[in-house]
Structure formats: structure tokens, C-alpha cells
């Protein structure tokens, strides 16, 4: 019995700076009681990048009033989605040496009301490859 999660993207590739991609986490509860998701925090580290060469606008999954945040027991699922808009790479832009492509590992951290290892769930990341625009 556990709470698990998996990641998916609407597209595995896009072009900066206006290529919007939707990230979705599917959270599954196989415990015998209802689980409540308290927060979903997106993660998006860029492989081999520095702060000067990576930038992304990232939305937050809706968690407020009126949102469904509970997962039924024994196999119930809940999905949460958010937008990603990479700003880099930008070859020929303000940062000299920007790469032609940038790879981001898209994931999240799911916080629940469960105990032990089910309190914080981290799904495997999925890869987003962002290309610089052609000028």
C-alpha cells in the first residue's frame, strides 16, 4: 500500500521563448484510506546548465478552494497540471555561448497528509528538450 506518482508532458520538445508545454502529475493512492494532496511543487533543473544559461517560467498546480485534492482509497487517482514556458536557450541573445538546445528534467514533489514514505512522493522526472529559435 502506498501513494505513488508519475509525470507526463504534453510535448517532449519545444522552442524557446514561447513554446508552452503542460506538465501533468498523476498521483495514485493504494492505501486503505483516503489521501489528501497538500501541495505539488514543480521541479525543473536544466542538465549541465548554469543560472546564466537557463530560465523557465513555471506555473503552479491549482490547489486552492474549489479544487479536488483528495484521492480515493484502494487505487484512486488524482491529476494536477501546470504550464512550463522555457525562456532559454537563446543563441545570439544576451548571454554569449548559450547552447542550441537545453535539456530540462521536469518533475515535482508531492506533499500529502499520509505518514512515513507516503508523506512526500517524488515521481521520476521526464525530459523536455528546448531548442533555440532560428533567427
Nearest to 30 by CA among 109, 125, 126, 121: 121
pLDDT tens readout for residues 54-103: 788 999 999 999 999 999 999 999 999 999 999 877 766 555 666 788 89
Cα–Cα distance between 76 and 27 in angstroms, integer? 8
More confident residue, 49 or 23: 23
More confident residue, 67 or 46: 67
Domain 3-128 sits in which CATH superfamily?
Immunoglobulins (2.60.40.10)
Domain positions in the chain: 3-128
Amino acid at each position: 500500500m502506498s501513494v505513488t506518482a508519475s509525470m507526463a508532458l504534453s510535448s517532449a520538445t519545444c522552442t524557446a521563448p514561447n513554446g508552452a508545454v503542460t506538465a501533468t502529475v498523476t498521483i495514485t493512492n493504494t492505501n486503505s484510506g483516503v489521501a489528501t494532496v497538500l501541495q505539488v511543487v514543480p521541479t525543473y533543473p536544466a542538465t549541465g546548465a548554469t543560472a546564466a544559461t537557463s530560465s523557465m517560467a513555471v506555473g503552479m498546480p491549482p490547489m486552492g478552494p474549489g479544487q479536488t485534492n483528495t484521492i480515493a482509497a484502494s487505487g484512486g487517482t488524482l491529476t494536477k497540471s501546470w504550464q512550463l514556458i522555457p525562456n532559454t536557450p537563446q543563441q545570439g541573445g544576451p548571454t554569449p555561448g548559450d547552447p542550441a538546445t537545453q535539456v530540462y528534467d521536469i518533475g515535482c514533489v508531492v506533499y500529502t497528509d499520509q505518514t512515513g514514505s507516503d508523506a512526500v512522493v517524488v515521481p521520476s522526472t521526464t525530459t523536455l528538450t528546448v531548442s533555440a529559435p532560428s533567427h
